[in-house]
Structure 1
Amino acid sequence: MSYEKKRLAVPDMKVMQPVRLRAGSRKRIMPARGGRRLKNDCQQAYTPDDQCAFYRKHQRWQTSMTYQILNDDGLPMDSHAELDTSGITLFSRGGSTAKGNVSNAEYGPALRLLLRRIVSARLPFDRAWVDSLDVQRLPIEQRIILSSGELDAEGSSAFTLMSRRMKLVGQGAGRTGGNSTKKIRIQFAADVKLSELESALRTIQVQEDVRSAERLPAETFRGVTAEHVWNAVEKLRQPNFRHAYGPSIDFDLITNAEERFPPKAVFGLAATEALGYEILPKHFSGGRGTPCFRILESAGFAIVAKGEESRPIVVPESPDDRSWTEGKPRLVAHLRKERASGLAQAKKDWFVRTHGKLFCERCGMDPVVIYKGAHGAACIEVHHHSVQVEEMAESHSTRLEDLQCLCANCHRVEHRLLKLALNRRVDSVPLES
């Protein structure tokens, strides 16, 4: 039975392992042993319909091959595509001319040639749509850039239509500009033998790594905040949480509890929450100087090389803190939790998203107004208030809702009140006879 022709029976609760096969192969996809689940929220159950949808979504991966397009003189162009029996996926143009790292630089000329060759070979063109990751959340009907009957003999009119419509796909209301060199899918109305496609479209199969074509631009990740990073770390703390990222090789992200997590996994999960669609390892790179590491470090987390020891949080930081925590392990734990890696910035991001700005929850002081500028926000600190310190076990998991945003003065007052309350409890304990 071929997965190309019939709906497969799906084993319970397994993810199917994509495997690239030679053209024409009829090998069935089998479930990967211990495979990871597909959905972002790994606490959800998976129905048979979900898993059959996985087959339908990914089945062209199994027989698609990467090709380079030849010009009319038979010379390879800087343009790559995947071919399969049901259509063509043309990779987007990426990189920067200024930086000298452009990929698929001849996207436009290659698309013109493909359209003309599709008509010349009388291939059963059906429609074309934008297939870039950031718009895959939209129904295909909202991503169509060329329909059956709009493909002209020379492909020039169709190219103009596609370029104009491509800019509008995923574009917010009132926005202008847009990208006319996105990843697109050209779908056929009927299957075509791969050998016929190779000949008609004049392509050559390549073995080079073109994964960078699927990397998202750095500006895509500007919306990833410290709150998203904190939530990602909280997910990874759950023993049964599964994700699409492997163990780290060169670096570790360190928490205040000396936990070590793969930086790419943390960032990928944070970006998935921020952007609203699944971000996989192929969509960004890690390492020193990358947007991934810069965002993680700006969120308050340390990233160290494998085997390198972490730098512990220094507690207390002020003479007042030192005096009232001396000999009181629970109070030291209180300060450690308030100053946990990433926690303060995550709370502030959450607070701004909820209330629109930072202000002191005790006295109402707006630091931007008082200090006449955004720099005034530096005086807002984070205080743990929901759980009494004496009831807070060392393993207590802090939620952002458990915290308050206070100005520095009110924060000091809260600590003094906490000290007085604890001293009264100590004084009220009867001495043993």
Structure 2
Amino acid sequence: MILLTDDGTPLNAKLELHELGITFQSRSGTDRNRDYRVALELLLSRLDTGKIAYEIYLDSRPVQGVELAKRRLSFNRQAPISVRFDELVRAMNTGSHSHGAWRKLLIATPGTSPAALLSAIGAAKSIRKFVRLPARELRKVTEFHIDNAVRRLLAGGEAPNFAPSRDYDALTDDGIPLAPKKIFGLALEEALGIEVYPAHFSAGWGEICFELLENAGLWIVPKSGAAARPRPHPSQIQQELNGFTPTDEERSWIEGNPKIVTHLKRERQPGLSKQKLSEFIAEHGRIFCEECRLDPVERYGAEAGAACIEVHHHRTHIAKMQPGHKSKTSDLKCLCANCHRVLHRKLALGLSPFL
């Protein structure tokens, strides 16, 4: 097996499944496993991202008869990946005349199934030549395909050709983070009837993958260090504003993320807020903020207190909201004005909208 980079490029570094995990072949000569360092660092990074516990053992032929515990290599698991690599090289060459040989390793992953391991590290069985699919093919993915992919992943299904996401999460309507490329890859397989790999499409701001995922109601949020949502073009903002008149405060949110317009429109459905508040009081006997638990009547009195609570649309899955869809009160949450505005500000910043 070989490792593929995030864009689907195959690395010259050979892996093999082992009963304890995987073996990572040594580098030698002028062409054998020449991407050893890049591949091992990528492998360690993906194991970290997948939260897979592992131990690393020297597995060169001269030591294969030695007890496994005596072959374990020590390194600082909290150190940056590049530092870990250097520590492993020093450890694997301890006691030898060489100080820079890159040797065969056994990476044991106790408790992790082979399928889960292969999915986490993004390994492929053979080198294939991939070309980017044209936009017309990518746009054959519909909200139906994306919804099916989300359901499959939430049910424990795998996307074996795709590694865990390192830069972005796609949040479901319940705030569950999934890897954007896994979702889109599975959706694309269903739409086109082919086996899909990372090199078939790009993921990121401005790419069709993110566009269609967000159109299907998923919120794309960057992890630490990833690029934030780019500021939208004024024409995009104006297009979203057609038929909608925002307040000054709402306009500032929309200028950061025009997708908020759809969210705000749902919150303004006539009569729905009043119905939600009535049902909430009937169920709980009082009104309060579901986030900070503020009881406005207790603090401000019965006449003025109720004005502090607003209704927020916390269900955002557009795939479930075809034309003519009417939101249900179960799609709504009661929030105080402060919590509601903080949440909308998060949406504008491209952060998780879930409190």
Higher relative contact order (CA 8 A, sep 6+): 2
Length-normalised TM-score, structure 2: 0.37
Length-normalised TM-score, structure 1: 0.31
